[in-house]
């Protein structure tokens, strides 16, 4: 890791109730699909305005929902196809049970088949997020990761979900790859979180969400961990 004088840590100062309001709007937009892109842009503006570097540099977000209006259609495509497959089989005379277990099975199959498409959507989304981030110092960052890298990590993380808890360590490795490929002005991002930190924080956040009332503060705490685990270091 780079020496302290060459790295800048990040901190998160977002208001929990404001953040929860942005998240609620984002969740509600999912029922209409297309507005998701604009709700995401609003959420990212709040998020960026809540982040500050240790050298005092602030962050803003200039991304526009219109650039990614079609992404939500790709994101929901697996759900649409997995729901349609059993219906199509039944129409053709081959009865397929629509039980929760069967729906889950078809969801997995369709998800793997459409993984190349969803990985492309993920790449476009990350480039949109990084391109839209504007540090107060004027340095612009860009995501340099390749499509094949995104596809590979999507596949590996998908497999890790079968390990019950191993996904946390695999996810951290994936984030390190994503962060390492965000570069600009001779610097890049670095992710310092560990799998154990992600696992117990995710469990705690899930339990807090069940109680509903603590959700705004739990979400802020969870997002804050991701930000605190991010630092800007000199590019190799």
Could you read off the pLDDT tens digit of each residue along the chain, which spans 236 residues?
A: 334 446 899 999 999 999 999 999 999 999 998 899 999 999 999 999 999 999 999 999 999 999 999 999 998 887 777 666 555 555 444 444 455 555 556 667 777 888 999 999 999 999 999 999 999 877 899 999 999 999 999 999 999 998 989 999 999 999 999 999 999 989 999 999 999 999 999 999 999 999 999 999 999 999 999 999 999 998 76
**pLDDT value at residue 60:** 95
**pLDDT value at residue 5:** 44
**pLDDT value at residue 7:** 85
What are the structure tokens assigned to 28, written together? 């509600």
Contact 107, 115 (CB under 8 A): no
Q: Where are the beta strands (DSSP E) in the chain?
A: 8-12, 51-53, 59-61, 133-135, 142-143, 182-184, 187-191, 230-234
**pLDDT value at residue 4:** 42
Q: What's the rounded Cα separation, in Å, for the pair 71 and 22?
A: 19
**pLDDT value at residue 80:** 73
Contact 152, 123 (CB under 8 A): no
**pLDDT value at residue 185:** 87
């Amino acid at each position: 890791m780079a020496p302290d004088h060459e790295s800048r840590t990040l901190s998160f100062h977002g208001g929990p109730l404001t953040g929860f309001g942005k998240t609620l709007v984002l969740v509600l937009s999912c029922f209409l699909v297309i507005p998701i892109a604009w709700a995401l842009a609003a959420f990212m503006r709040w998020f960026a305005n809540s982040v500050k570097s240790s050298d005092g540099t602030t962050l803003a977000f200039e991304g526009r929902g219109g650039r990614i209006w079609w992404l939500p259609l790709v994101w929901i495509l697996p759900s649409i196809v997995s729901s349609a497959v059993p219906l199509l089989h039944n129409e053709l005379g081959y009865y397929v049970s629509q039980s929760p277990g069967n729906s889950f099975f078809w969801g997995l199959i369709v998800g793997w088949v459409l993984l190349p498409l969803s990985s492309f959507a993920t790449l476009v989304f990350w480039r949109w997020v990084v391109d839209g981030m504007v540090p107060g110092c004027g340095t612009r960052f860009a995501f340099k990761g390749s499509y094949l890298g995104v596809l590979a990590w999507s596949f590996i993380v998908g497999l890790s979900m079968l390990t019950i808890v191993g996904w946390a360590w695999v996810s951290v490795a994936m984030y390190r790859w994503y962060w390492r490929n965000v570069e600009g002005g001779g610097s890049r991002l670095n992710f310092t979180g560990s799998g154990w930190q992600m696992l117990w924080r995710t469990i705690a956040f899930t339990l807090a969400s069940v109680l509903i009332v603590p959700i705004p503060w739990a979400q802020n705490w969870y997002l804050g961990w991701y930000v605190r685990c991010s630092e800007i270091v000199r590019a190799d």
